[in-house]
Amino acid sequence: MRLEHLFEPNSRPACLVFNVRMDLFAVHYVYDDRTEDRDAIRTSHVAYLDDLVAKGALFAYGRYADELEPGALFIYRADGADVVEAWVAGDPYVAAGLVPRHSVRAWPARGTWPALIAGAR
């Protein structure tokens, strides 16, 4: 849904109320020491994720930049964890066995995210 579809042309709403169900999921990847193997297919991994972003399924992703356990975080919107698991399975890193562990957790986030509002479909 796009915001402009909520209003009639030339109308001015008294207030703006959102009643959009958004099931968010936080996905955590744990990486091991096979950095060179991941580097070899990073282009296809990023292209796959960017396609999910373009479809409105993935809002944010990226590797952790600290010195703790290597991995990455992904924020998905989906109808259920099974859908997210299917997307995870299609990730070239996962398909190549380069993500030894991952978790998918429902995440009832609060707050305002410009990307969620601007990217609402």
Delimit the domains of the chain by residue range.
Answer: 21-118
Could you tell me where the DSSP H helices lie in 2-80? 35-54
Between 16 and 50, name the one with better pLDDT: 50
Of the candidates 39, 108, 35, 117, the one whose C-alpha atom is nearest the C-alpha of residue 75 is 108
Of the candidates 83, 78, 95, 85, the one whose C-alpha atom is nearest the C-alpha of residue 44 is 95
Q: How confident is the model at residue 6 (pLDDT cuts 50, 70, 90)?
A: very low
The pLDDT value given to residue 121 = 44
CATH number attached to the domain at 21-118: 3.30.70.1060
Position 91 pLDDT exceeds 70: yes
Does the predicted TM-score (pTM) go above 0.85?
Answer: no
Report the C-alpha gap between 55 and 115 in whole angstroms.
Answer: 13
Between 6 and 77, name the one with better pLDDT: 77
Q: How confident is the model at residue 115 (pLDDT cuts 50, 70, 90)?
A: low
Beta-carbon-side half-sphere exposure of residue 72 (alpha carbons within 13 Å) = 19
